[in-house]
A and B are shown apart, each in its own frame.
Chain A
Amino acid sequence: MKTFGHVVGLAGVDLVLDHGEVLGIIGDNGAGKSTLIKCLTGALEPDSGEILLEGDRVWFTSPIDSRRAGIETVYQTLALAPALDVASNMFLGREVRTHGPLGLLLRKLDKRGMRRSARAELDKLGITTLQDITQRLETLSGGQRQAVAVARAATFGTKVIILDEPTASLGVRESQQVLGLIRRLRRQGTPVILISHNMPHMFEVADRIHIQRLGRCAGVVSPATTTMEEAVAIMTGAKQLQDRRG
């Protein structure tokens, strides 16, 4: 439950995410998608309710809290620094110091180590479009940047990875690359929450789709048994589900 003054942003939403699944969240503008995600990542504090992470009750008061708990978010704006290189961006805010006296006394960064780890992570995700990780972000294409942001989330997101509109600003090919990355994350067993307006993309990768409407969950459907038209009908209120648990 989350209210903003008199406006009810969220009113009684249950969200369940299993290991190794991609849960899609769709909903019209103002349906409470962003509010829901912000509550999960600590950007907003819910007024009531609870969040369980692997059975333990957690409560986040800032995005840093949720990151410490292993929940990583790829924001629509990506939150990357354009003038820094790929490796620096992947470790932004979590830089690693060199071992030994240089790191201890002079706080020297382990640039080589971070580059090696960044390379390994990109290879693990099968990202072949980033050959030179010393390239500055601003010299990369939209899809490449998205790949860096996803790789960063995959490096540190041990429990949950949340992707907010990852394909919104991408072309067809680049969108396919990102969807491929999401499948790889699922194969690695990391649960993913995907927020998108793009129905075809959603139906391509999501295992279940949570439909948000007027601050409530209007239903959870399976892409295998539901058509896009039905999902849109539920989203806009043209159709109502008897069993909302899908």
Chain B
Amino acid sequence: MGTTTAKRIDIASEEVAGLAPRQTPLDRIQRQLHAHPALGPLIVLVTTCIVFGLLNPRFVAAQNISLMLQQVAVVAALGVAQTLIILTAGIDLSIGYAMILALLVMAQAAANNEVAGLIALLLGLAVGVGSGVVNGTLVTRLRVPPFIATLGTLFVFQSAGLLYAKGQTTQATEMPHLLNWTGDPVTIGPLNLINGVLVALGLYLVVHYILTQTQWGRHVYAVGDDVEAARLAGIRTNRVLFSVYVFAGLIVGVAAWISIGYAGAADPNNAVDANLQSITAVVIGGTSLFGGRGGVIGTLFGALIVVAFTSGLTLANVNNLYQPIAQGVLVIAAVAIDQWIRRVKR
């Protein structure tokens, strides 16, 4: 009886395989984009650079590339944290203001309370982690949807930062050098960068490794993909979700450090745009807002696309007011393409 069963399975499988629909070239493109989420953003980035390079050769000069890389560092670092959260089908609207709170604590602890540089840095990182603990608790314990939870903490972190700083700006010269180290120049080949750029790139390498090569990384994808399936498969989903927010908080602390170095100061108005730009970078980078699909490499491309558009449009002498329009169109196009990719044929 057993052998007949096995034979029947073989026959059935062959017939099923024969029924596979023929693929059009468009289907094949869709399938490739589906399998490699960072491919689309890479193509867009390369195309963008070629077009703007042809419009104005200064765009691809070492000087402009260095400038763009410096400009992208803070958003790129926040983008790593945002990617982690969006992979779990969440979103963090508070991320930029958590960063500002962290950088104000770092700077003022050192400048006004004369705490040693390392301690001040650790305090700032702790504020970042604390913001993650708050958001993570709201999402996993109180079951507040991430959009609402972080909308609430956005206002809380924003006001807390303003209250704490009392409207003061702390200049880099008033701080221990460690806090400003991320702004020190560093030359790599023809590029003149700051240490903060390298720190941001380091974050990408570390988090990419964690997401693709470790059990925790795989569980992040599984939880974002189908939380019920992950739970039934024996993953402690709330623990994974909470740890994502806490880890993202730590990365926010590092982004705060980069921001002080890049701006040369700690100001309550540092990088207020970075909040929404981090989401823009993740979405343009091909990570799905529905969770479980994407990764940090795409986000790096996404952040670079945004900064390339800003710089390229400026160099092409386009009115600055068009830049937000370009960003808006990019985001909507990215999500529309994601929807199309997700409808991949079986």
Q: Which residues of A contact B (CB under 8 A)?
A: 63-64, 67, 73, 75, 77-84, 88, 92-95, 97, 106-109, 126-129, 136, 138-141, 143, 173-174, 176-177, 179-180, 183-184, 187
Contacts and interface: CB of A to CB of B under 8 A. Distances in A.
Nearest to B294: A83
Contacts of B10: 128
A77 to B, nearest CB: 7
B233 interface: yes
B235 interface: yes
B18 interface: no
A187 B3 CA distance: 12
Contacts of A63: 232, 234
B2 A141 contact: no
Interface in B226-259: 226, 228-235
Contacts of B216: 107
A67 B323 CA distance: 55
Contacts of B221: 81, 83-84
Contacts of A177: 9, 12-13
A136 B221 CA distance: 13
Nearest to A111: B213
A141 B346 CA distance: 7
Interface string B2-33: 10011011101101100000000000000000
Contact of B16 (A77, A107, A127, A141): A141
A108 B292 CA distance: 20
Interface in B133-156: none
Contacts of A139: 344, 346
Contacts of A176: 5, 8-9, 12
B240 to A, nearest CB: 11
B218 interface: yes
9 contacts: A73-B232, A77-B232, A79-B232, A80-B226, A84-B221, A128-B10, A129-B13, A139-B344, A177-B12
A108 B213 contact: yes
A79 B214 CA distance: 21
Nearest to B17: A129
Question: Which residue among A80, A88, A108 has the maximum number of chain B CB atoms within 10 Å of its CB?
Answer: A80
Contact of A93 (B5, B9, B15, B234): B234
B233 to A, nearest CB: 4
Contact of B344 (A80, A84, A138, A179): A138
Nearest to A142: B346
Contact of B215 (A77, A83, A107, A183): A107
Interface in B179-237: 209, 213-216, 218-219, 221-222, 225-226, 228-235
Contact of B9 (A73, A83, A97, A129): A129
Which bracket fits the contact residues of B?
A: 35 or more
Q: Which of B1, B2, B9, B226 has the most CB of A within 10 A?
A: B9
B119 interface: no
Contact of A140 (B213, B293, B346): B346
B330 to A, nearest CB: 24
Contacts of A67: 234
Among B12, B216, B231, max chain A CB count under 10 A is at: B12
Contacts of A79: 226, 228-233
A97 B215 contact: yes
A141 B21 CA distance: 13
Given A82-B226, A97-B215, A92 B12 contact: no
Given A78-B229, A83-B293, 7 more contacts: A83-B221, A84-B221, A84-B225, A126-B9, A139-B344, A176-B5, A177-B9
A167 to B, nearest CB: 14
Interface string B317-346: 000000000000000000000000000101
A181 B222 CA distance: 26
B344 A173 contact: no
Contact of B218 (A73, A77, A109): A109
B189 to A, nearest CB: 29
Contacts of B292: 81-83
Contacts of A138: 344, 346
Given A84-B221, A173-B16, A93 B233 contact: yes
B208 to A, nearest CB: 13
Nearest to B4: A180
Nearest to B215: A95
A62 to B, nearest CB: 9
B35 interface: yes
A94 to B, nearest CB: 7
